[in-house]
Chains A and B, each alone.
Chain A
Amino acid sequence: MSHRVLDVTAYTTFDYLQGGASGLDWDEDGIVVLNVESDEEEGVVRLSTELDPTDVQRLDQHADHVELFPDQARTLASTLREAADRVEEEVDDE
């Protein structure tokens, strides 16, 4: 079976991002799907990513996920916002 593990629809958070996978002595680039969903039953926010299976030969097809409690999800959101601001500031400074 070779489905993508993650669903990719118009509701998917990002259907196209640059990314990759690295090991101790290897690196491969690929296109990544990233999705954020709330799991009300478990009380967590689930953030999942999947590299396009045909991009990375070294790995079996799979998706990775992390589970964040709501306050952790908010911490991540504000960290991302701050990091985004810094990136833009540096671009503006150039």
Chain B
Amino acid sequence: MPHKKEEIKDELYGDAVREKIEEFAERGWDSIPEEEREEWFTRFKFWGVFHQRSGQESYFMMRLTNCGGVLKPDQLRAIGEVAREYATGPAENPEWGNGWIDLTTRQSIQLHWLNLEDIPEIWEKLESVGVSSRSAGGDTMRNISGCPVAGKAEEFIESRPILDEIQETIRDDDELSNMPRKFNISVSGCKQGCAQDSINDIGLEPAYKREDGEMRKGFNVRVGGGLGGREPRRARPLDLFIPPEKAVETVREFVEYYHEHGNRQNRSKNRARFFVDEHGTETIREDLNDRLEFEFEPAGTHFREEYTYNAGKPPEEGPHDHVGVYEQRDGLNYVGLSVPVGRLTAKETIALANLAGEYGSGEVRLTRRQNPIIMDVPDDNVAPLLSEPLLEEHTPEPSPFVRGAQACTGTEFCSIALTETKVRMARMLRWLRNNTDLPDDVNRIKIHYSGCTADCGQAMTADIGLQGMRARKDGEMVEALDVGVGGGIGADPSFIEWVHQRVPADEVPVLIKEIVEAFAAHREEGQTFREWVEEFGVEPLTDMTDPAESDYEDATLTDAKQAWYPFAEGDSPAPTDPDGTPISADD
């Protein structure tokens, strides 16, 4: 029997959902019959419109899409203006106030606290500059990820034209809108591995063949990766080398193959990685070979060993991320900012868009580490750009902690979270910057924080991974963290091991400080955190570190996990009218 979600999608999905959203918006929140809400919210996701969690009824999050993280001039400004005008909720966030945007790990942007009634206007404003929210959620192809500086930096193979063609001919195809499950595509053309193709459903990574003294460039194909849930998988090689001109049709064929044959009954086992487990790479390769016209050839030589992105290698082996000032191959520069936990106020967003226009071409790109990059800055403009107030705040030379920080959504908007994440992370980062000394050659410690074991924040692959938990302290239940060390991706991915578990949140900063100081004291010159952990071991680290309180103040230590908003007092006003007036249930 098909899963219930399949029946819902069968009835109406894809582009047809748009009209219904506009109709409901016209008639107001109350016009969605209560018993049909769940069904409609499932469909809305295809258009990037997500109903917020319980306690926040009538408010929606919108996820915007793009391809490979590129925002053309004026797009970011429009997004900032929409955030200022519409992304305002009934309560303020203590760090970012009201009206802000989130940059995601899939190179997109999310807006919260939108009213359904405003959504058509928001679309109108965004679409007038070419920003869309189509296919941003639900069982569809998500943002196609690519190297954020593709086309600008040195690339082994030009990936930008391929990314654009996949977007136009595959992702935008309504026939393929209803996939068995969400589906991620990545293409990287650079040798740094920054599209993280090992964790996508299908990833193309650069490779080459040397024949008769000549080098032929192309891609190796990997399928069935994904880190979610209990059973993470690295994408497995298909032992298939394809020339660049066959890239698009190969991706299309795999997408169609999964669209036809993917499991539509059991949602816990139907991400493409399980599909690959079930059928095996050999069968998949054979089937694809039958479906595709051209001659298959075995994998070429790849650059995995050279991958530096998040791989825990010393900085001199290549840039770890895109933070800093880098030269483009056209002689201009790109300037990567560092935004702690990926959140910018509407005001900062607009300022960023303005700076991009004033000092660069106006183009802004987004990285997988939730950071924006200002593109096309001439040499003479670099210094004045760097001295702008926004760049002092979100500096291209951030503290090593800020540079490596990442946090999932947490209790603010996630209904299954055990703890708050983003505000806590932002405050811990400030405390660590002011209270911890690091050796000069350490430019990044990756601290990743997830609010529960689902690990959307990728704590498992961090230098220092934090996962939300609960503990008892002074007779009270408090928000707590499991703290582990030693994870990383790259050519040889590894997961963290726990150093201390259920550490009350207000005692975590001191623990991290002690861990990092142990690293500073015991490492060999040049060793990265991950290399050091591997050598030093976790047990001695557990023995020599102790969580403790300090002058760090935690905002939500005793928050009850089901509060409607972790930073607000009192009862929820939701659901409300667009002007914020509660809609009473009994009228």
Contacts and interface: CB of A to CB of B under 8 A. Distances in A.
Interface in A1-53: 1-4, 6-11, 15-16, 31, 52-53
Nearest to B542: A54
Interface in B480-523: 482, 484, 495-498, 500-502
B495 to A, nearest CB: 5
Nearest to A55: B501
A9 B453 contact: yes
A7 B454 contact: yes
Contacts of B470: 15-16
B501 A53 contact: yes
A2 B497 contact: yes
Interface string B445-489: 000000011100000100000000111100001000010100000
Nearest to B539: A57
B495 A3 contact: yes
A83 B453 CA distance: 32
Given A3-B230, A3-B495, A54-B542, A8 B502 contact: no
Contact of A15 (B418, B497, B498, B500): B418
Nearest to A30: B501
Interface string B217-232: 0000000000000100
Given A10-B561, A15-B469, A2 B498 contact: yes
A52 B453 contact: no
B416 interface: yes
Given A1-B495, A15-B470, A10 B416 contact: yes
Nearest to B538: A2
Given A1-B495, A4-B453, A54-B542, A10 B501 contact: no
Interface residues of B, number: 26
Contact of B417 (A7, A9, A16, A55): A9
B452 A52 contact: no
A54 B496 contact: no
B301 interface: no
A1 B497 CA distance: 7
Given A2-B497, A3-B230, A15-B418, A8 B469 contact: yes
A10 B471 contact: no
A16 B472 contact: yes
B495 A11 contact: no
B230 A7 contact: yes
A10 B566 CA distance: 14
Contacts of A10: 415-418, 452, 561-562
B453 A16 contact: no
Contacts of A53: 498, 501
Contacts of B501: 52-55
A10 B500 CA distance: 21
Interface string B112-132: 000000000000000000000
B477 A9 contact: no
B373 to A, nearest CB: 33
A3 B467 CA distance: 10
Interface of A: 1-4, 6-11, 15-16, 31, 52-55
Report, nearest first, the 5 A-B pairs whose CB atoms are least far apart: A9-B416, A9-B452, A2-B497, A1-B495, A54-B501
22 contacts: A1-B495, A2-B484, A2-B498, A3-B453, A3-B460, A4-B453, A7-B452, A7-B454, A8-B418, A8-B469, A9-B416, A9-B417, A9-B418, A10-B416, A10-B417, A11-B416, A15-B470, A52-B501, A52-B502, A54-B500, A54-B542, A55-B501
